[in-house]
Amino acid sequence: MKITLTINGERREVDASPWKRLLDLVREDLRLTGTKEGCGEGECGACSVMLDGEVVNSCLVAAGQCDGRTVTTVEGLAHGDVLHAVQRELVACGGAQCGICTPGIAVCAAHVVDRGLIRGKNDHEARETVRALLAGNICRCTGYQLIVDAVVNAARETR
**Can you give 39-91 as a three-state secondary structure string?**
CCCCCCCCCEEEECCEEEEHHHCEHHHHCCCEEECHHHCCECCECCHHHHHHH
Q: How far is the CB of 11 from another protein (least distance, A)?
A: 19
d(CA 40, CA 15): 22
φ and ψ of 47, to 5 deg: -95, 15
- Do residues 77 and 87 touch, judged by C-beta distance below 8 A? yes
CB nearer to another protein: pick between 119 and 131: 131
d(CA 75, CA 52): 16
Q: How far is the CB of 159 from another protein (least distance, A)?
A: 20
Q: How far is the CB of 10 from another protein (least distance, A)?
A: 16
Q: How far is the CB of 62 from another protein (least distance, A)?
A: 6
CB nearer to another protein: pick between 108 and 159: 108
CB nearer to another protein: pick between 71 and 130: 130
